[in-house]
Amino acid sequence: MYLTWKRRRFSIRPGSAYLALAGLIFIALYGVFLTYQERLAEARLAAMRQKDADAYLDEIRMLEGFDTYVREFQQLKGFDSFRTNAPIFMIGRWTLRDSTERIPVGTMPDCTDPVIFEYGRFKLPRDGTDLPASFRLDDQTLIVRPRTGDPVRVELISFGAAIDHLRLTPPGREDVSYAYPCGR
CB 110, CB 183: distance < 8 Å: no
pLDDT value of residue 3: 53
What's the angle, vertex CA 60, arms to CA 54 and CA 65, rounded to 5? 125
pTM of structure = 0.76
pLDDT value of residue 5: 55
Same domain, 129 and 42: no
Give domain status of residue 57, yes or no.
no
Same domain, 90 and 46: no
Give domain status of residue 98, yes or no.
yes
Same domain, 152 and 90: yes
Give domain status of residue 162, yes or no.
yes
pLDDT value of residue 81: 93
Same domain, 100 and 147: yes
pLDDT value of residue 184: 65
Task: Name 155's bridge partners.
Answer: 141, 167
Nearest to 67 by CA among 175, 182, 156: 156
Same domain, 100 and 154: yes
Same domain, 47 and 88: no
Q: Which residue range(s) make up the domain with 41?
A: 14-51
C-alpha–C-alpha distance, residues 142 and 66, integer Å: 14
* Length, in residues, of the chain: 184
Number of domains present in the structure of the chain: 2
Query: Residue 116, Cα to own-chain centre: how many angstroms?
Result: 22
Same domain, 38 and 109: no
CB 132, CB 116: distance < 8 Å: no
Query: One digit per residue, pLDDT tens: the chain, 184 residues?
Result: 455 556 666 667 777 878 888 999 999 999 999 999 999 988 888 888 889 999 999 999 999 999 999 999 999 999 999 999 999 999 999 999 998 888 877 778 888 889 999 999 999 888 888 889 999 999 999 999 998 889 999 999 998 888 889 999 988 888 999 999 987 6
C-alpha–C-alpha distance, residues 46 and 1, integer Å: 71
